[in-house]
Structure 1
């Protein structure tokens, strides 16, 4: 299994989530509002004057766990629909998930969702 985490611009979130909903067999998506900063902020160059808050720039974080074979298409869809070509478009991280535990049933899953 793979965990895909994507940090994207808030104004593209609806487009990205709509595209993900259209994917067959996608187990689900967790969506969170987050704040942070990237290279531009670290170098003292804010993305825009209205994003000067002490806690950083507002972003959307998507978290998805999928079977290994589905990860490339999910990553491709996020990258395609979140792309604007401007600084701050975001990042996608892909990690291996060793185990998943269903809280309701207590079932441990190691191979597939």
Structure 2
């Protein structure tokens, strides 16, 4: 299992979410974050004063997937998040040792799939 972590621009999120849903990966976590990198600060004029904002708003996406699905997730993120400009973001792939579904006690890659009871209830 792998944890895919991506820091992306806000406008890239919705196309990524929709494609991951279509591909069968509904389980993602997002967090609104701020950070700085190569983009550095952006200087803006406000009431005659120059203000530099060093922390740019981003969205952090986290998704735990089976090893074989990792590249699909990464490719989807890259496809929709890449504009070619500084500040597009980063994607990290981190090994996950184990996962547990708290409700049922299932472990391993079983926890990454939609539970049969939940799938039946959704239809």
Q: Which runs of 5+ in 2 are unaligned?
A: 46-50, 113-123
SS across alignment from 1:99: coil
4+ runs of 1 displaced by more than 4 Å? none
Task: Write the mapping of 1:86-101 to structure 2, written as runs, cut at 5 A.
Answer: 86-101=85-100
What is the number of equivalent residue pairs in this alignment? 106
Structure 1: where are the runs of 5+ without partners?
A: none
Alignment-derived partner of residue 6 in structure 1:
6
Cα RMSD (Å): 2.1
Over 3 Å counting, the alpha-carbon distance change for 1:103 and 1:58 in structure 2 is same
- Partner Cα distance (1:27, 1:14) in 2: 13
Deviation of the 1:79 alpha carbon: 0.2
**Would the alpha carbon gap of residues 27 and 10 (structure 1) be closer, same or farther in structure 2, given more than 3 Å must change?**
closer
Contact 1:19 1:81 in 2 (8 A): no
Q: Greater relative contact order (Cα 8 A, min sep 6): structure 1 or 2? A: 1
Moved more, 9-18 or 98-107: 98-107
- 1:16 is aligned to 16
Q: Tell me the TM-score normalised to structure 2 length.
A: 0.76
Larger Rg computed on CA atoms: 2
Aligned position for 2:78: 79
What corresponds to 2:37 in structure 1?
38
